[in-house]
Amino acid sequence: MQIADLYIRVSTDEQAEKGYSQRDQLERLEKYCNQNQITIGQVIFEDHSAKNFTRPEWIKYINYIKKEV
């Protein structure tokens, strides 16, 4: 069984308005996982810029992964 954690991020209102909202991303990823028999583990939402990786939820997730390995 495959398990995927979903990381969903939008950095600007413009992206959200063009169909890249967090809700849209989640729906697309859920559909993909369902079609490919992939179980969804965690869903992580972020709304920080892609300029660097100092994103609070990303950092929490990476720390979680490091503890689990």
Go through the domains of the chain in sequence order and give each one's CATH number: 2-68 (3.40.50.1390)
Is 6:42 a contact under the CB 8 Å cutoff?
yes
**The predicted structure's pLDDT at residue 56:** 87
Is 61:42 a contact under the CB 8 Å cutoff?
yes
What is the pTM assigned to this prediction? Answer: 0.77
Element at 57 (helix H, strand E): helix 56-68
pLDDT tens for each residue of 20-64: 788 989 999 999 999 999 999 999 998 766 666 678 888 899 999
